[in-house]
């Protein structure tokens, strides 16, 4: 299945929340109306399965992950001890592209993925170009110094606020620990995603 390349705002409208930072003002102003022709009709109520599916799609689109890869994250989370939903979110948050985004090196996960794929990121001093690379506590994540001249990177560094599980000095960041639930995406209900795959 190919990665979605269409209008991103359409995805935000479909999932009922701003999946991308640029969509937030629009969603707040216009409301999250699903795309398509409405003709004044009210939206049909979703079944239990439909609610679970939408939540899974929302998480997939938020982190920019394809179906097969997302299903693999679920399998890994379901085999772990403890809360499978929380483990699933930790796996998603620990992806290299997400950590680059949360460190403020990129203004979006899409741009963070691009920085990683193009070889502009180092893990503990070694170049890594795999966006799904899993980051562990104690790991250092840095972007190349030459990227400081990049307008988007500059702007992102100026406007970013770091979560407490990360620290950053100039172009070098460090993962202090794994995030707590309240430090991860608040717009997701991970239990619905687990129920979707468990049915």
pLDDT at residue 15 in the model = 65
Asked if 115 and 106 count as a contact pair (C-beta separation under 8 A), the reply is: yes
What are the start-end ranges of the H helices in 36-189?
48-63, 67-79, 84-93, 96-102, 109-117, 151-159
Indicate whether 197 pLDDT > 80. Answer: yes
pLDDT at residue 83 in the model = 95
Higher pLDDT, residue 42 or 168 = 168
Pairwise CA distance, residues 38 & 61, whole Å: 24
pTM over 0.85: no
Indicate whether 71 pLDDT > 70. Answer: yes
Pairwise CA distance, residues 62 & 70, whole Å: 12
Asked if 120 and 144 count as a contact pair (C-beta separation under 8 A), the reply is: yes
pLDDT at residue 4 in the model = 61
Pairwise CA distance, residues 7 & 59, whole Å: 17
Indicate whether 42 pLDDT > 60. Answer: no
Indicate whether 137 pLDDT > 90. Answer: yes
Which residue from 145, 139, 121, 140 is spatially nearest to 131, judged by alpha carbons?
A: 121
Which residue from 58, 56, 80 is spatially nearest to 13, judged by alpha carbons?
A: 58
Residue 156 banded pLDDT, cuts 50, 70, 90: very high
Chain position carrying tokens 């794929």:
117
Label the pairing between strands 172-175 and 166-169: antiparallel
Residue 170 banded pLDDT, cuts 50, 70, 90: confident
Indicate whether 196 pLDDT > 80. Answer: yes
Q: What is the mean pLDDT of residues 130-143?
A: 97
Higher pLDDT, residue 106 or 23 = 106
Chain position carrying tokens 């717009």:
187
Residue 167 CB contacts under 8 Å (≥ 6 apart), including other chains? 173, 174, 176
Residue ranges of domains in the chain, CATH in brackets? 8-92 (1.10.1050.10), 95-177 (3.10.290.10)
The dihedrals phi and psi of 31, each to the nearest 5 degrees, come to: 85, 160
Residue 152 banded pLDDT, cuts 50, 70, 90: very high
Tokens, residue 115: 């920085």
């Amino acid at each position: 299945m190919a990665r979605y390349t269409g209008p991103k705002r359409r995805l935000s409208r479909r999932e009922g929340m701003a999946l991308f930072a640029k969509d937030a003002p629009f969603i707040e102003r216009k409301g999250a109306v699903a795309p398509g022709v409405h003709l004044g009709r009210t939206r049909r109520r979703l079944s239990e399965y439909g609610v679970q599916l939408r939540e899974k799609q929302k998480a997939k689109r938020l982190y920019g992950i394809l179906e097969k890869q997302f299903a693999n994250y679920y399998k890994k989370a379901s085999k772990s001890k403890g809360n499978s939903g929380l483990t699933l979110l930790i796996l998603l948050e620990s992806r290299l592209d997400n950590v680059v985004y949360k460190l403020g090196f990129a203004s979006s996960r899409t741009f963070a993925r691009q920085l990683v794929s193009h070889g502009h990121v180092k893990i503990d001093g070694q170049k890594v170009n795999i966006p799904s690379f899993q980051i562990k506590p104690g790991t250092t994540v840095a972007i190349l110094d030459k990227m400081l001249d990049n307008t988007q990177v500059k702007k992102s560094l100026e406007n970013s606020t770091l979560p407490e599980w990360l620290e950053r000095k100039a172009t070098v960041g460090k993962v202090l620990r794994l995030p707590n639930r309240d430090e991860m995406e608040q717009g997701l209900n991970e239990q619905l995603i687990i129920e979707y795959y468990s049915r």
